[in-house]
A and B are shown apart, each in its own frame.
Chain A
Amino acid sequence: MIPQQIAHTIVDPKAYAAEKPVDDAFTWLRREMPLAVAQPDGFDPFWVVTRHRDILEVERQNELFHNGDRSTVVTSKTADEKVRSMMGGSPHLVRSLVQMDNPDHGYYRRLTQPYFLPQNIRKLEPRIREIAKSFVNRMAEKGGRCDFARDIAFLYPLHVIMEILGVPEVDEPMMLRLTQELFGSADAEMSRSAPADENEGLAALMATIADFVAYFNKMTEDRRAHPRDDVASVIANGTVNGQPLGQLEAMSYYIIVATAGHDTTSNTTAGALWALAENPGQLALLKKDMPACMPLFIEESIRWVTPVKHFMRTATADATLAGHKIAKGDWLMLSYPSGNRDEDVFDDPFAFKVDRTPNRQVAFGYGAHVCLGQHLARMEMRILWEELLPRLHELELAGEPRRMEAAFVCGPKSVPVRYRMQ
């Protein structure tokens, strides 16, 4: 059994904001107990999968390790009971691709997958470059000082995905606020009501989801009456086995696109600039040979930030993993930051290297549930850096950056920087 202090750290939102306690905990686990059971107070026991190869092994076997049988995010017993009581026994507040297993997962993924394939998003490049240029100009107009997270990184991927989804620009601030409430429910600065306890936190989360649902219900009506060339029209008019999407599934589809479709890219972009500001030698190396370094830098940024901190899986049968007996029904935490700092896979894993190769980062997951938007995310980041870096001549931190307090999706919430731009 994992020592209680470490078990508590790996579910503590504040520890993820500080980062070092989590890095230290997982470094210790990889060395001493790479696959073991944790049971923080108030939680059901779960296996903690810390090694890169074991994470791939679980994700590869998506029939043996299900997403939907229990919560996909580590959840206290109290919160789990409350969710089940509200959701007719289901452990999930939404039912998106993340909470589905086959056959539904395949059916629902295929609905929008063509939209997010490289050959389709390539067509979007000219428009995304226009958007990127406008944000780079905005940064230049700030006069050499900005909060890169709030002024640029939160807003650029938001604008791109909202155009793809079909949400008008005027509603983007609301979508950003709802996204931050959803992923930042444990962070007093981000949550809807700075909840005093778990019950209040869950109520706030439900209110956020209700706002999303009200908005996207209207969008469904509109796109059924007036279909357009956007993802909302695909969801509103799509069918699975000849039937329209279920209400819960359709709303969940909108919500995952409208949240995961920008927040993780924002986190990675903000975290990458933070890392460049702290590592001027790496920035110089990147600027010296941008075409060669760019794809490596993007993979390293994704590895470095790893915005999705974990997903949970549930064993559907007795199994063996890394020599341990996993019983049917066991719950497993896949720790992506740990996999991305695995000393057996990455040389000097706590160093940010813009030319790191090979880089088998696992931040997008693996197997059937690998991130649907990964090609778009990489392209958005490449275009922004191609527009920004040639104009950026000096860069340094202008204050202490801060991360969101969250144990699920977590990244920078403030990155104050000073810079000189053309």
Chain B
Amino acid sequence: MATGFKTWQCENCGFLYEEEFGLPAEGIAPGTRWEDVADDFICPNCGFAKSQFSMIEV
């Protein structure tokens, strides 16, 4: 089983992308690593770009 999932946060609105859970509503399966999320991904909460997410410790 894959471990070491990370959490990424939108710097604008605080939205969290948790690799463990993915974003099924956006077509991103649970377990999808941040680097495998498409480059044109935008924050579903505020529209900011993938480049404006940063990894955080929760």
List CB contacts (< 8 Å) of B25-58 with chain A: 25, 44-48, 56, 58
Contact present for A119 and B25 (CB under 8 Å): no
With A and B bound together, what is the CA distance between A368 and B49 in angstroms?
Answer: 12
List, in ascending order, chain A residues with CB within 8 A of B47's CB.
Answer: 56, 59-60, 366-367
Q: How many A-B residue pairs have CB under 8 A?
A: 33
Contact of B46 among A118, A119, A357, A370 (CB under 8 A): A370
Contact present for B25 and A357 (CB under 8 Å): yes
Contact present for B14 and A368 (CB under 8 Å): no
**Chain A interface, number of residues (Cβ within 8 angstroms):** 18
Contact present for B14 and A116 (CB under 8 Å): yes
Contact present for B25 and A118 (CB under 8 Å): no
Contact present for B25 and A117 (CB under 8 Å): no
- Interface readout for B5-23 with A: 1 if CB under 8 Å, 0 if not? 0000100111010000000
Contact A117-B46, Cβ < 8 Å, known A357-B25, A358-B25: no
- Interface readout for A89-123 with B: 1 if CB under 8 Å, 0 if not? 00000000000000000000000010011110000
Give A57's nearest chain B residue, CB to CB: B47
Interface residues on B, range: 10 to 19
Say yes or no for A228: interface residue by CB 8 A criterion: no
Say yes or no for A75: interface residue by CB 8 A criterion: no
List, in ascending order, chain B residues with CB within 8 A of A364's CB.
Answer: 45
Minimum CB–CB distance from B16 to chain A (whole Å) comes to 6
List, in ascending order, chain B residues with CB within 8 A of A60's CB.
Answer: 47
Give A114's nearest chain B residue, CB to CB: B14
List, in ascending order, chain B residues with CB within 8 A of A370's CB.
Answer: 12-13, 45-46
Say yes or no for A138: interface residue by CB 8 A criterion: no
List, in ascending order, chain A residues with CB within 8 A of B13's CB.
Answer: 370, 374
With A and B bound together, what is the CA distance between A374 and B14 in angstroms?
Answer: 9
Contact present for A118 and B12 (CB under 8 Å): no
Give A357's nearest chain B residue, CB to CB: B25
- Interface readout for A350-373 with B: 1 if CB under 8 Å, 0 if not? 000000011010001011101000
Contact present for B16 and A118 (CB under 8 Å): yes
List, in ascending order, chain B residues with CB within 8 A of A375's CB.
Answer: 14
List CB contacts (< 8 Å) of A41-72 with chain B: 56, 59-60
With A and B bound together, what is the CA distance between A119 and B55 in angstroms?
Answer: 13
Give A375's nearest chain B residue, CB to CB: B14
Contact present for B46 and A113 (CB under 8 Å): no
Give A116's nearest chain B residue, CB to CB: B14
With A and B bound together, what is the CA distance between A116 and B9 in angstroms?
Answer: 13
Query: Which among B12, B44, B47, B56 has the greatest number of chain A C-beta atoms within 10 A?
Result: B47
Minimum CB–CB distance from A101 to chain B (whole Å) comes to 15
Contact present for B58 and A119 (CB under 8 Å): yes
With A and B bound together, what is the CA distance between A370 and B11 in angstroms?
Answer: 12
List, in ascending order, chain B residues with CB within 8 A of A358's CB.
Answer: 25
Give B9's nearest chain A residue, CB to CB: A117
List, in ascending order, chain B residues with CB within 8 A of A113's CB.
Answer: 14
List, in ascending order, chain B residues with CB within 8 A of A116's CB.
Answer: 14
Contact of A119 among B44, B45, B48, B56 (CB under 8 A): B56
10 pairs from A and B in contact (CB 8 Å cutoff): A60-B47, A117-B14, A118-B16, A357-B25, A360-B44, A366-B46, A366-B47, A370-B13, A370-B45, A374-B13
Cβ-closest 4 pairs across A and B: A370-B46, A117-B14, A60-B47, A370-B13
Inter-chain pairs besides A119-B56, A367-B46, 8 sampled, C-beta below 8 Å? A56-B47, A358-B25, A360-B44, A366-B45, A366-B47, A367-B48, A368-B46, A370-B13
Which residue numbers of B lie inside 8 Å of A, CB to CB? 9, 12-14, 16, 25, 44-48, 56, 58
